[in-house]
Amino acid sequence: MDSILKKHFRLISEVNDAIGSSKDLEEVIDHIFKIISEYLNAKYAVIWLKDNKGLLRPYFSNCPVDLIKKRYKTGEGIVGKVFEDGFGKSIIDFESNPNEEIKELYKGINIKSYHCSLIEDKTGSLGVMEIISDSSNFTDEELEMLELINILSATKIATLGRYKLDWDDKEVLVEIKDVCKTYNTGGFPTKIFENLNLDVYKGEFVVLLGKSGCGKSTLLNIVGGMDTVDSGSIVFNGVDFSNAGEKELTNFRRYNLGFIFQAYNLMPNLTVKENLDLIAELVDDPMDSVEALRLVGLEDKKNHYPSELSGGQQQRVSIARALVKKPALILADEPTAALDYKTSIEVLSVLENVYKNGATIFMVTHNEEIAKMANRIVRVKGGKIHEIISNRNPAKATDLEW
Amino acid sequence: MKIKLIELIKNIKKNIVGFISLTVFLFLAITLFQGLDFTGNSILHSIDGIFCDSNLYDVNVATSSLVTQNDVESFNNIDGVDEVEGYFTVSDDFTFGEKKFTASITSITSDVSKCVVTNGKVPVEANEIAIFERCADALGISIGDQISFTRKNEIGFLRALAFSESISSTDLNDTLNFKTESFVVTAFVTTGNPLNHSPNVHPLDTSNGIPVNAVFYAPYASFNQTITASGFNGLYLRSNELKQYKYFDEKYINESEKLAAKVKAYAESNLKTTIDYVTAFNSDLAVRQFAKDFLYSHGYITPEQYASDPLFDIAVNVIGNQLNALEKNVSFGKKNSILGTSVVTVLSNLFLDDRYAMGGVFFAISILICFSVITRLVVDESVLIGTKKALGFTRREMLFNYLVFSLAGVLLAVIFGNGMSVILETILVPSVLHKSFTLPRVVTYFDWRLMLIIAAISVVSIGLITFFACRGVIKKNAISLLHGESKTRKRSSKQRERSAAKSKNSLFMKTVLDGFFADGKKTFAMILGISSSLALLIASFSLKFTVADSFNKQYAEYFHFDTISYVNSNVPQAKENIENFFKEENDEYSPIYFDSCNITIKGHESFIGNIIVYFDNASFDALIHMDPSANNPSFDHKGIWLPESYQQDFKCPNESEVEVVETSGLSATSTTTGFYRFYNYDCILFIDAETYKEAFGEEARPNSYLVNRSKCDFDTFYEKANQVEGHMYSLDYYGRSQSDVGIFNMVLTICYSLYLAATAVLSLFVILNLLLTNVEEKKRDIITVMINGYSRSEAAKYVYYDSILQTFISLFIGTGFGLLLGWYGQVSLESKILYFIHTPNILSVVVSIPITIALVALMTLIALRRLKKFKLSDLTNA
């Protein structure tokens, strides 16, 4: 048998297996992307699907560019045109034939080869898939295989997507634009990140994932108004805080942010309730301290000192303390790093609860498993956003295992 | 060994602030203690140095007659006398500028009691003269100035006439003291005679009873040979055996007394020229008869002129005077009848007493502070200690490291402290003495034994405190050390259940209070630092204000006179003239007999003082309020009264046996009636005329007046008084008291300046250090609240609420401690001739408290600047 044919058959078989075993759209797309990565030299993929307003929105993306608020009308841009015309668009040698629109959209990515194809089933067009290689040009054979994958997966996507898609339009809370940060350590400048862009939306649970030293804590500090940027802007609720003075930053933290620290940082001389009261006093309309403690399951410990609590309990108090101001954004810095597995699950369950009650959480962790709880996983590597993954089915805290 | 040394250096680097604190405090304590000791001793040795440089006499024989060179040399026969030299001294008047002064001029000796030239060259020609440097400074006399002496020395002439056969009565007209009309000042000198320490010496301090403003030295050949008749009116004697002693050694005093007794006995038996006449007269009548016969036989006066001729009274005085071989503390050896060495002794004692009052107390405070420094250091390393224990280090090994650390600090402190104390001494001694003495050289004193003792005490005390500081931590088990001690004050469950504080300020306060009680060692260190600063400030200002308060009290409550005017009783109507003058001037006055004297309470050391015999109770009471001190009988114008300082120092009863010897040699032994309150630099024995006669066997006759100048300043008063026939001299007693007290003030200024400097260092090293440590310890909490939305100024409450609380408590402790220290300073620094009021000095508290608060506030502000350096990201990046 022709080797190409064999390849194609294998591909078909794998796709069918993957689709068949997938329970939801996330899983389908996850499997599809793995297959695409295996068979094609594609580093990044973005799947645009039509929402209930007829706009094309990114449903899946693993590229380091935040596309979440990007929309295309039918016929608009390459994505819109491909969707309208039904014809794919390839820019095989992107370096020789750069496209400004693509370059602008995927700023920061080294695009070697680009392809955009339609996803359609028998009922019609569903969306568009873009794939990008940063190492080599796509071959015709690869593009043919992509065609196959599209056809095979389209029906499943259509089936799952129509019923399960959740197209909530969330408001942006934090906009991080072209932020650069360099530290001077012992006279040597260390670039932490350069031209970083990220948005955080209200009601989201965003996780910054990365190994130690990748810059995720620095980014948290910057969002929290505890550190400054060298250039770029940090816009919170429409107000740019990147050049704010100390007074403005203090007020920003006071009225908008709640913090959960890795080491809890409770006042050792105050009781649990007093720790919350100390922070509640900052705002005019705080949550009742006891109520906050109830949310974290510790109302019976209100008169205990932190030293009389376990690590997990202390962290839960820390969460309650973060909640008591009713902040717009909760920043969590490796909240389970100092805890064992069981206690970590307890704390994460509380966080999950808090999130479900409408809080926006921006958490930093190095634990891949914990990241599964998030709506969006922003993977940071070498001071850059390596990929941003939308997680439509976040895992439950109790389901996590590591 | 090398590894241990490297470890020690690394330890020091790591805990550099603590190491420096420990070293600096010990250094200061050693410097203060030893510095004060060395200064006190150096003062004595430096004065002794002047004495040695000038080869000062051991015994001075002053005589109103003349002794020949043969007489002088015969004194060498006395066992113990190795050098003897005769001198001649006169008093004379001179005018310089527009003012008239009285001077004493003494012949320059070549061996004993030589002049030490401080500027210029020794006078050798008959018209050359040297002046005591201090007098030159005061009178504005420079080298090269011309001085002329104008007095007719009838007394000297009569003396020569009476006891020498080498002159004739026709030489009566030649009675000027000197052959030359004027002298050129060629040198400034100092001598071993501390009598010349001030140009305005007490009028009756000189051995020949004449008040002088200046002291000159001229070659013997300058004196009118007719007057001197190749003779001397004084002898300096020196003993080689006594040269081995310092003037302040007890042995010197005892041996000098013995020598003086031998000299006196020899003089009485061998100087017949004088003694024949002297011992023959046992009554005034006999003396007057002799004088009458003498003058008549020489053709000076006719019998009819005896009563009116002033020469007659002069002759009586001259012939009636006895040979003066002055005794013990009055005029012998280096401890002359002067205020000089007594001033020196008192000044020296001020420092020597202060070494305990100041140096010792500061040493104790330093040890306590070092204890808190080391304790903090060890507590901060609890986790490290726990780690070491877990790794297998023994307690002894860990303790050894801390001991080595501490002792390294001790070593540095001892080395630099010893060096600094010598430097301090070389700075302080001239500063202290320059007001009173011309000091050609400072004798640097250091006591190896004391240095070793202080070093040993430092080593032992620091070693012990290190041991106790470490013991508490090192003996804990490794796990509790590794987990860290929770410095939390746990309130009871009831306290916790009470409704929580509503305001963030009260929550801050709770945290501060909890920390205050939970971390006792830190709290103790801070309170110790602040209260010590306050106490030292109070003690410093107390010293400063006490002297002024005491002096002011003396003149506000007890002494209402400011002048003593001396009357020349040889001038007819002198008494009436001067009293009329006082009346015209509306000045209050009271007649007295005034003399210098040596006072000895039985069983105790002697002291130079003054005797005042009062004649008129009413006028006396108007000018002196005699207030007996506690447990003394009331003053009823009878008996012998001495200052209460004697009673306090000697613990003698009201009725104590006292011996008084006047400058003339007249002496009495009697019993004191009581002791009166006195806060001045002086020692005055008050006695009524009747008691004086009983004790001394002679009637006292008024020779001066206590005066309260109503209208004018002293210079104006003096100028007017000098126009009065019979006025001899007036002393600005108040001004002189101020000046004398000023010397003490100066010393105490030095002492309290040292205290103030020590306080500043204390604040800097202890208070600031503790505050900075406090801020660092609270860094995490402070950053946490700031991240949560508290501003930096709100978060700063964590720091300054602490300071406020600690300062508040320290004010009470420090005030109590400071008043105690101030009292101790008052009591230990006063002497028999200078007494202080002992009441707590409230002004010192009123001044010190704001300064302390300001100091702490300043240190807190400096510490709070550390907050500005806190990066919020430190918490998450850590």
Q: What is the residue-wise DSSP string for B419-447?
A: HHHHHHHHHHHHHHHTTT---S-------
Supply B850's token pair: 């704001």
The answer to whether the Cα torsion of B429, B430, B433, B439 is positive or negative is positive
Q: Which residues of chain B make contact with A245, given a CB cutoff of 8 A?
A: none
* Residue B705: band (very low, low, confident or very high) from pLDDT cuts 50, 70, 90: very high
Q: How would residue B212 be classed by pLDDT, with cut points 50, 70 and 90? A: low
Segment B137-189, tens digit of pLDDT: 778 899 999 999 877 666 566 666 655 555 555 555 566 788 888 899 999 98
B569 alpha carbon, distance to own chain's centre: 36
Query: Predicted confidence band at B336 (pLDDT cuts at 50, 70, 90)?
Result: very low
In this complex, do B511 and A271 lie within 8 Å of one another by their Cβ atoms? no
**Does residue A341 surpass a pLDDT of 60?**
yes
B282: contact with A, CB 8 A cutoff: no
Residues B444-454: what's their mean pLDDT? Answer: 90
| Residue B784, φ and ψ in degrees, nearest 5 | -60, -50
Q: Considering only alpha carbons, which residue of chain A is nearest residue B781? A: A267
Please report the pLDDT score of residue B325 as a whole number.
28
CB-based contact B873 A218, cutoff 8 Å: yes
Q: In chain B, positions 466-495, which contact chain A (CB-CB < 8 Å)?
A: 486-490, 493
Instruction: Tell me B808's DSSP state.
Output: H
pLDDT value at B94 more than 90:
no
Q: How far apart are CA B476 and CA B478, in angstroms?
A: 6
Strands B232-238 and B324-325: unpaired
Mean pLDDT of chain B: 79
The model's pLDDT over A59-98, given as tens digits with 9 standing for 90+, comes to 888 888 888 888 899 999 999 999 998 888 888 899 898 9
Whether B818 and chain A come into contact, CB under 8 Å, resolves to no
Average pLDDT over residues A136-157: 83
Q: Residue A223: closest CA among chain B residues belongs to which residue?
A: B873
- At B680 the three-state DSSP class reads coil
> In chain B, what residues touch A255 (CB-CB under 8 Å)?
789
- Taking an 8 Å cut-off on Cβ atoms, the answer to whether A303 and B875 are in contact is no
d(CA B568, CA B102): 14
Nearest chain A residue to B494 by CA distance is A303
**What is the CA angle A105-A110-A113, rounded to 5?**
85
Q: Which residue has the tokens 């002393």?
A: B731
Contact A299/B at CB under 8 A: no
B504 contacts on A by Cβ (under 8 Å): 278, 281-282
**pLDDT-based confidence at residue A272 (cuts at 50, 70, 90):** very high
Task: For residue B500, give the nearest of A273, A325, A333 by CB distance.
Answer: A273
User: A226 at the B interface (CB within 8 A)?
Assistant: yes
Nearest CA in chain B to A259: B788
Cβ atoms of B326 and B60 closer than 8 Å = yes
pLDDT tens-place string over residues B760-794: 887 777 788 778 878 888 888 889 989 999 988 88
Q: State the average pLDDT over residues B372-397.
A: 82
| Residue whose pair of structure tokens reads 């020469």 in the numeric block | B311
Q: Would you state the pLDDT for residue B171? A: 55
The reply to whether residue B791 touches residue A250, judged by beta carbons under 8 angstroms, is yes
Amino acid at B445: Y
Interface test with A, best of B483, B786, B872 (most A CBs within 10 A): B872
Average pLDDT over residues B483-499: 62
| B328 pLDDT higher than 60 | no
How far apart are alpha carbons B822 and B816 in whole angstroms?
A: 10
DSSP letters for B835-869 = ----S--HHHHHHHHHHHHHHHHHHHHHHHHHHHT
Interior/surface letters B2-20, b for 16+ CB within 10 angstroms, e for the rest: eeeeeeeeebbeebebbbb
CA-nearest residue of chain B to A273?
B500
- For B875, name the nearest residue in chain A, comparing CA atoms only: A261
Count of alpha carbons within 13 angstroms of residue A334, beta-carbon side:
21
A321 touches B: beta carbon within 8 Å: yes
Q: Please report, rounded to a whole number, the percentage of residues in chain A having pLDDT higher than 90.
A: 32
Interface of A with B in 199-218 (CB under 8 A): 217-218
Look up the pTM and report it.
0.73
- pLDDT value of residue B153: 67
Mean pLDDT of B251-255: 79
pLDDT category at B280 given cuts 50, 70, 90 is very low
Through-space distance between the first and last CA atoms of chain B, rounded to whole angstroms? 36
Contacts of residue A257 in chain B, CB cutoff 8 Å? 789
Q: Answer whether A250 sits within 8 Å of B497, measured CB to CB.
A: no
**Looking at B682-726, which runs of residues are DSSP E strands?**
684-688, 704-708
Letter for the amino acid at A82? V
**Cβ separation A227–B490 shorter than 8 A:** no
pLDDT tens, B562-607?
999 988 776 778 889 999 999 998 899 999 998 878 888 888 777 7
Q: What phi and psi, each to the nearest 5 degrees, are found at residue B607?
A: -145, 145
Chain A environment of B792 (Cβ under 8 Å)? 246, 250
Rounded to the nearest angstrom, the minimum Cα separation between B480 and chain A is 14
Which A-chain residues 238-277 have CB contacts (< 8 A) with chain B? 246-247, 250-251, 253-255, 257-259, 261-263, 265, 267-271, 273-274, 277
Instruction: Tell which B residues from 54 to 73 touch A, by Cβ distance under 8 Å.
Output: none
Q: pLDDT confidence of A114, banded at 50, 70, 90?
A: very high
